[in-house]
Amino acid sequence: MSRAYSAIRPGATALTWATSPRNDVHMVQALLLSIGQLFDKRIVAVFAKSMLVTLAIFAALGAGLWFGIEYLVATYFSASQSIASLAAATAVLIALLGAWLLFRIVAIAVIGVFADEVVHAVEAKHYPERFAAARDVSFARSAAMGLRSAGRALLVNLALSPLYLILLVTGVGTAIAFFIVNSWLLGRDLGDMVAVRHMPAQDLQRWRASTRLPRFATGAAGTGLFFIPFANLIAPIVGAAMATHMFHRRNAK
């Protein structure tokens, strides 16, 4: 057993940590602590970097979509330049309708790359002993986790898109299903970002199985922020910070 893992609670298992009544996490407190640290210079630096990378990705995707559609319409349909430009603008407009999901996917992928810095900042301020005991996560592993998170969100939502369309007739069913699915996905990804620093890989699966509800609650809080204009910009960082508080407060003695 690693030093980081045993430092959380010597002699305990992931299951007993998760099920102990003394380890109940107060979501509101975790949220307030996360928001209160937003102006920490380390958090601000992560926000600036993640926003720049996210905007660059969106700019590249938008430019690629515009010129790609314009070229295809002009080349394969022998359309005039004005018609090709109109088709490109229409495609970009349609893409904007799905911007919420796209932003969530890109933002989580990007914050996955920088998540370790958010976790570092929160642990250094609130949980210094555990910060000292934590294992380092390489940039390559952080990037891989972020990309897997983005791919999982894209594939799951695409697979469930027929259900979303069917539930449109209910008026609210699509929004509820979308919220539940993405809360589950986000909670899983944010929890993993913290857990990998404090337990061996072989214990992650058991930890996930025993912490479904608190991780879903964290994901729900983060997903809710994605629905609020401007708050959606800080949602990935607040979510990562909340996941850190949830992990340590649940695992406290």
* C-alpha–C-alpha distance, residues 243 and 219, integer Å: 9
DSSP 127-184: -HHHHHHPPP--HHHHHHHHHHHHHHHHHHHHHTHHHHHHGGGGSSHHHHHHHHHHHH
* C-alpha–C-alpha distance, residues 20 and 253, integer Å: 9
pLDDT number for residue 93: 66
Q: Indicate the SS3 state at residue 95.
A: helix
Q: Name the burial class of residue 208, with classes exposed (0-12), middle (13-18) and buried (19+) by CB atoms within 10 angstroms of its CB.
A: middle
Name which of 1, 20, 7 is nearest 202 in CA terms: 1
C-alpha distances (whole Å) from 253 to each of 9, 23, 95 are 7, 7, 48
Q: Between vectors from CA 113 to CA 97 and to CA 185, what angle results, nearest 5°?
A: 55
Q: What tokens does 230 get?
A: 């401007």
| pLDDT per residue as tens, the chain (253 positions) | 344 443 344 334 444 434 444 444 468 888 899 999 999 999 999 999 988 988 888 888 878 877 888 778 777 776 677 776 777 777 766 666 566 667 777 887 888 788 888 999 999 999 999 898 888 888 888 888 888 888 898 899 889 988 988 988 888 888 899 899 989 999 998 999 899 989 888 888 888 888 888 899 999 998 888 888 888 889 889 999 999 999 988 766 4
Q: Name the burial class of residue 102, with classes exposed (0-12), middle (13-18) and buried (19+) by CB atoms within 10 angstroms of its CB.
A: middle
> b or e along 147-166 (b: 16 or more beta carbons within 10 Å of the residue's beta carbon)?
eebbeebbeebeeeeeeeee
Q: What tokens does 19 get?
A: 């099920």
pLDDT number for residue 242: 93
Is the Cα torsion angle 110, 111, 112, 115 positive or negative in sign?
positive
pLDDT number for residue 26: 64
pTM above 0.85, yes or no: no
pLDDT number for residue 97: 58
Q: What tokens does 189 get?
A: 């990804």
